Structure 1
Amino acid sequence: MAASTAFVTVGASLAGAKAAQTLRDEGFDGPVVLLGEESERPYERPPLSKGYLLGKDERETVYVHPPNWYAEHDVELRLGATVTAIHPAEHQVTLADGSRLGYAKLLLTTGSAPRRLPVPGADLDGVHYLRRLADSDRIKQSFESASRIAVIGAGWIGLETAAAARTAGAEVTVLEMAELPLLRVLGREVAQIFADLHTDHGVDLRFGAQVAEITGAEGRANGVLLADGSRIDADAVIVGVGITPNTQLAAAAGLDVDNGIRVDAHLRTSHPDIYAAGDVANAFHPLLDKHIRVEHWANALNQPQIAAKGMLGQDVSYDRVPYFFTDQYDLGMEYTGYVEPGGYDQVVFRGRRDTREFIAFWLAEGWVVAGMNVNVWDVTDLIRSLVTSRHQIDPARLADPDVPLDELLDRPGSMA
């Protein structure tokens, strides 16, 4: 049997679609196959907890490409096609129908799955997990009939869905095991700002809350029982307690797996003809000099472009600074950089926290390792430059809104 010349991607997501687009943009004229287990063509996930969930964005806006784009660019988009095994030695994948498909290069953009809550009642009707477009549709429908909504988990998904539910007019209770929302991600100083934001909009925040059971009647959720015996009545429950990378195929194929599919800076796995990108990839980052796995939209958008170029033999690596954003009520923010829990020694604020118009900078040994602009716009590129400069910067000048950020780049070593 002749070796396949096809470039195959497993995962018809934003990452998969961007990889296919890059292959064509770079002039590859061989077969391109995009395999997706969903029935929907590739779409973006941020709107599912933001504009689309709020009813501000039309359904068509969530898709990566128009319906005819794939045929026009000779990309074979196979929906409802579940891959059950990868055979690296044979350069083939097996599909659920038993057929095999050969590849010259393989890209894994298998993404991640919501963590399920391991308590009784977690699978009752009216309990929602948000990952797919259909999930967002169901949650949006619940807003039309539910007057009381419980949200379990105060991470980004939990807070964004809580904001959407409040905007829709529901009474909302958020249950979080930690002391503050986003505590591991942002640290105490900035996490408090998001707690105050939701409290100001009428959300009942319950911290140190351990869920014991989701209660129900006639097969449908009607509340949440906590370990301390208290109970929160709810017509619908939204669970957002994190995601787990979908590494099962990679692990079964013998690829290196460690908190995701382990890849190098070129996004190549332990097999030279297999690459991975997006949520599932634990990639070596040249700037940070470590492997990191980032679960945000910007990675799904940008990593597959590098992976596709690498599949074509180009000497490229992925060194973009991590980026994500959120919109909650009247707060919009962008975060640029990377900080592990406890990986900073100071937070510097520039602007006014009382009106939620500021920039927060996380510093480690005088270096800016991350910055978050809240209701302050057109500064992301400057924040990215501060992060990548790897220079010590005077915190007093960083906090002073009268000192332009670009001046800090011009004179990075000024430690007054």
Structure 2
Amino acid sequence: MKSIAIVGASLAGLNAAETLRREGFAGRLVIFGDEPYFPYDRPPLSKEIARGDWPPEKTALPIDALLDDAEWKLGCAVTGLDAASRTLTYGEGQSESFDGIVIATGASPRRLPGTDIKGVHVVRTLDDAIALRDDLARPGCRVVVVGAGFVGQEAAASARKLELSVTMIEAVAPAAHVLGAEIGVIIGDMHRRHGVDVRLGVAAAAFEGVERLEHVHLSDGSVVAADVAILGIGVTPNTGWLEGSGLTIDNGVVCDETCLAAPGIVAAGDIARWPNRRYGELRRVEHWDNAVRQAEHAAKRLLADGGGLNPGPYMPVPWFWSDQYGLKMQLVGSPVAHDEVRIVFGSGEEERFVALYRRGDRLVAALGLAATGKLLKFRRMLENDPSWEEALAAV
């Protein structure tokens, strides 16, 4: 291969670029990004940046000197792809063909109807976080968090650290769609102990205000006074620009188990949907750690089309963390469609525990809160597909 394009100046895009160079690719390397910024770290956006603890420039990711000769096309959106010829369309209608392409365009936060009003925020980009920071700095700011997934939880915790009034709205229980209802209730109680008004079984029905947000109407008929609303209701993979590309698009870019989407085209990060042989799942993984590891794997797979060594199937044990109220929550493995969850250490009331997840007769995931050392044992164990009995014996 003589030329490779990376679409997405993201964490995944950056790691793909550095891997290509480390693996010996010396050809032309072009990195497209629709934002005007070099790659930056997203986890601090809902925490350190939203609270005003960090200046925005502190989120910048270090860029290896191996990329000194890379071409960065920032603030330049790619608008189309012809997979057969590996031709990208970008900017003001320019088009160019490449020998290889890495797709790393990530995902965008979902919004609700009627949320195009001042004071309603999503948290995905650096500009999003800066705008939220400025609004949270308003004296006496009242905050409503819609959605209690991990982004919503972190936003709520950040607002409470600023000693703001916070109401969290969730249709079920916090992160219950991932962690299960039992753990969701425990997490909801944790937020209540830290001063959040957690309202479950309701949804945001309308956002009301004259010049900016004043009230959020809930589905149960109640009304919450609010100066700021933060939407944390999930994301949609950025695949619009791939319509008509010839790739298989279904809740992301569908790849084979090696991250190959088409000859000479790979995908990585939030946008990639691939079959993880370890769990028998066709899914996307929206975690920082996956963006790094999958980008490295995808880059090696791309080079295999040019004569390099094929890295084989990408079958990681996913790992995720979230920082809230000075506590670190970590999830390792895949609790999707689990049959049982059991707390084997600590308790929710202590705000320190480890919970194990069973699917069939196998341990498939472990969740820890303020228990990094104990969780590490199960993280190592999950690499070897342990039985449920083996996991319980190791407690």
TM score, norm. by length of structure 1: 0.89
Shift of 1:354: 2.6
What pairs up with 1:5-404 in 2 under 5 angstroms?
A: 5-66=2-63, 69=64, 73-118=68-113, 120=114, 122-145=115-138, 146-178=140-172, 180-218=173-211, 220-269=212-261, 271-313=262-304, 314-316=309-311, 317-340=313-336, 342-394=337-389, 398=392
| Matched-pair contact (CA < 8 Å) for 1:36–1:82 | yes
Q: Tell me how far apart the structure 1 counterparts of residues 230 and 4 of structure 2 sit (CA, whole Å).
A: 38
Inter-CA distance 55–383: structure 2 relative to 1 (3 Å threshold): farther
Q: Which runs of 5+ in 1 are unaligned?
A: 406-416
- Structure 2 match to 1:408: none
Classify 1:200/1:63 alpha carbon distance in 2 versus 1 (closer, same or farther; 3 Å). Answer: same
- Which residue identity does 2:6 align to in structure 1? T
Query: For the structure 1 residues 72 and 275, does the alpha-carbon distance in structure 2 shift closer, same or farther, using more than 3 Å as the test?
Result: closer
Secondary structure class of the residue paired with 1:157? helix
Distance 2:221 2:369 in 1: 38
The one-letter code sitting in structure 2 at the alignment partner of 1:123 is D
- Post-superposition Cα deviations, 1:257-290, rounded to whole Å, max 9, x if no partner, equal 1221101121000x21111110011011121123
- Tell me the alpha carbon deviations over residues 14-68 of structure 1, each in whole angstroms, 9 at most, x when there is no partner: 00011111111112111111000001111121111133333444433322225xx
Deviant stretches of 4+, over 4 Å: 69-72
1:292-323 deviation per Cα after TM superposition (whole angstroms, max 9, x unaligned): 21111111111110011111112113211111
Aligned counterparts of 1:103 and 1:81: Cα–Cα separation in 2: 17
Please give the alpha-carbon distance, in whole angstroms, between the structure 2 residues aligned to 1:34 and 1:379.
40
State how far apart, in whole Å, the 2-side matches of 1:49 and 1:190 are.
Answer: 22
Which residue identity does 2:223 align to in structure 1?
A: R
Q: CA contact under 8 A between 1:361 and 1:368: conserved in structure 2? A: yes
3-state secondary structure, aligned to 1:23: helix
Percent sequence identity over matched residues? 36
In structure 1, the residue corresponding to 2:243 is in which secondary structure?
A: helix
Structure 2 unaligned residues grouped into runs of 5+ = none
The residue type equivalent to 2:142 in the other structure is: R
Aligned residue identity for 1:184: H
After TM superposition, the structure 1 stretch with the greater mean CA deviation from structure 2, 135-144 or 356-365, is 356-365
Q: Distance in 1 between matches of 2:65 and 2:206?
A: 45
Any conservation in 2 of the 1:348–1:363 contact (CA below 8 Å)? no
**Offset of residue 131 of structure 1:** 0.6
Query: 1:88: how far off?
Result: 2.1
Aligned pair in 2 of structure 1 residues 192, 134: CA closer, same or farther (>3 Å)? same
Aligned-pair distance for 1:365? Answer: 2.9
CA contact (8 A) 1:368 1:386 kept: no
Distance 1:72-1:35 versus aligned 2 partners, 3 A rule: closer
Give the distance between the partners of 1:326 and 1:227, measured in 2 at CA: 29
Residues 367, 387 of structure 1: 8 Å contact kept = no
Structure 2: how far apart are the matches of 1:305 and 1:25? 10
The 2-side partners of 1:25 and 1:373 are apart by 35
Following the alignment from structure 2 to structure 1, what is the Cα–Cα distance between the partners of residues 318 and 378?
Answer: 12
TM-score, normalised to structure 2's length?
A: 0.93
| Number of residue pairs matched by the alignment | 389
Distance 1:381 1:318, change over 3 A: farther
Tell me the residue number matched to 1:410.
Answer: none
* 8 A contact 1:275–1:307 mirrored in 2: yes
RMSD: 1.9
Report the residue type matching 1:149 in the other structure: V
Cα distance in 2 for residues equivalent to 1:72 and 1:92: 23
